[in-house]
Structure 1
């Protein structure tokens, strides 16, 4: 199980910015930068704010000659300009700006302060949140969450797909923002799939889930075996007839007298391939089989034998045709 390892000590970042970091500090910083593209974005954001605050140029803005003329005109006598207060005034301004910058980053920037993030790019990830909730993050997905749940609610944001096993806490609802959907639970297990076209699908495995369209305010309650869909600002609910909605997590594909078009769609989704069917004889057939952590080659062989078809593969493209073609 993975606990987020992308955090970095704020004092180390300040040391880097002030160019007083030790060799080990620089090594730790570089390891953090290399860990994920988001860390580079975080640092660049902080660097921009830092440079803006430095533009005040404390000492260059103290025009001693101008200040001396002003004092001399008012007093009618020469005296040495006391620059200490001016320096302290500008220094205090810089300090306030830097402090506000750090507070802003702490409050809003995942990976720097109170929020953490995990970005599954090439492989799935399993994350344990501070409240004991388990999150299984699919490939090409990202989740942002607090390092600690100190408020009255538990808020996270999801891009992509994840399976949640929420630790029950009646006093602290667990709320997920994903696309146009706001999902609220107390403790349950369910799958959230926020697709690139803006569609969000919530499939409930246990317990009760509320699904709200944040654009229209429409709300439905889903229980075990049901799913809700928000698509083009429309919210719908139905019995979940999808056997394989969490196959990406379990590794198990189940087909029970499933129409071939649906079989191919599930295989495309699960293995990340494109399937072109040129065999008219199997269009009206159904298929029954179960694959458990099966490699694509094994699935292809099973299709050949069970359907009596020819399957050719060109990269990620499978072409199905009759055996005599």
Structure 2
């Protein structure tokens, strides 16, 4: 898997702002801006602060012509000293503003300072954090994380879906912020998914995980084989009867006495296809099978064999109908 890390060095951005960058740097900068809308948004914030620091009110009040007349009417050494002191004060003001602005950007802006950001698009990504934790990102997902874990906790933020294999460290809890959910672990493996309706689903594969609602502070604890769902202001916990919660990562699809309509939904999501079922008798049948990183053509072959159907494939559209005798 190719890692899609959106980090770019801050000195590089300074050269862009100052207009001292090379053509090659400018090309790299454009690619960085186009890689993620968040990059463009953060740079525009930085650019605004940069421009504001050069146009602060104290500079706007300077009347250069009037000041020069005063300077000529006074003695050279004294006036030169006052002129230097005046501009040193202006320069110090600019330096303070720039320093505060850059410290703020360094502390808060992913891809600029101490935080890095990885965003997957049409492919899945795997990243390894500074502590050795492995994170697998599903398509169209994002994670923001420190380049180094220097505090007594390991904090990250994520959107979309990700599978975590957290490196055990009893002295530093691993905390994930996702939507309105806070997930805390010491060392375990689990899946976190933001559903389209706003729910956050945590499915535990090993170890123990806590799931907390930021608003109500309600907490539940989940162990292997359990899942928790945070939706609106409610948290529920249950046995995880979802056999394919991590199939996007493992490539394995499991079907045991599963109704055919539900099987088709899994196949649509996994293979990014659309299935039209024209064989009504399938709605009452159940399906048993196990696919390990199988191609869609291999799945179609098995469906046709076991269900006695015919499949017409038109691009990403599968049309299933009864097989003529």
Fold equivalence (TM over 0.5): yes
Cα displacement (A) at 1:298: 1.8
For the Cα contact (< 8 Å) 2:3–2:125, is it kept in 1? no
Cα displacement (A) at 1:174: 0.4
Deviations 1:198-223 (A, max 9, x none): 11111100000001122222211100
The match for 2:222 is: 222
Distance in 2 separating the partners of 1:294 and 1:162: 22
The match for 1:151 is: 151
Cα displacement (A) at 1:65: 6.2
Change (3 A) 1:97 1:242: same
Cα displacement (A) at 1:64: 5.1
More off after superposition, 209-218 vs 34-43: 34-43
Residue 177 in structure 1 maps to residue 172 in structure 2: no
Distance in 2 separating the partners of 1:118 and 1:60: 42
More off after superposition, 305-314 vs 180-189: 305-314
Cα displacement (A) at 1:32: 3.8
Root mean square deviation, CA, Å: 2.5
- Report the 3-state secondary structure (helix = DSSP H, G, I; strand = E; otherwise coil) of the residue aligned with 1:145: strand
Change (3 A) 1:180 1:275: farther
For the Cα contact (< 8 Å) 1:244–1:254, is it kept in 2? yes
Change (3 A) 1:215 1:321: farther
Normalised by the length of structure 1, the TM-score is 0.89
Aligned length: 319
Distance in 2 separating the partners of 1:47 and 1:323: 64
Cα displacement (A) at 1:36: 4.3
Residue 305 in structure 1 maps to residue 305 in structure 2: yes
The match for 1:79 is: 74
Change (3 A) 1:11 1:58: farther
1:155-234 to 2 correspondence within 5 Å? 155-234=155-234
Change (3 A) 1:267 1:4: closer
Deviations 1:12-43 (A, max 9, x none): 22122112234564455455445544433332
Cα displacement (A) at 1:322: 2.3
The match for 2:90 is: 90
Change (3 A) 1:35 1:64: closer
Deviations 1:171-195 (A, max 9, x none): 1110111112110000000001112
The match for 2:109 is: 109
Distance in 1 separating the partners of 2:103 and 2:124: 32
Normalised by the length of structure 2, the TM-score is 0.89
Distance in 2 separating the partners of 1:4 and 1:103: 25
- Report the 3-state secondary structure (helix = DSSP H, G, I; strand = E; otherwise coil) of the residue aligned with 2:47: helix
Distance in 2 separating the partners of 1:271 and 1:234: 32
Distance in 2 separating the partners of 1:2 and 1:278: 40
Ranges in structure 2 where 5+ consecutive residues have no aligned partner: none
Distance in 2 separating the partners of 1:304 and 1:296: 12
Distance in 1 separating the partners of 2:282 and 2:15: 66
The match for 2:62 is: 62
1:44-59 to 2 correspondence within 5 Å? 44-56=44-56
Deviations 1:118-170 (A, max 9, x none): 00001000100001100000101000011111111111111000000000011
Change (3 A) 1:174 1:4: farther
The match for 1:75 is: none
For the Cα contact (< 8 Å) 1:137–1:161, is it kept in 2? yes
The match for 2:319 is: 319
Distance in 1 separating the partners of 2:298 and 2:37: 36
The match for 2:243 is: 243
More off after superposition, 102-111 vs 86-95: 86-95
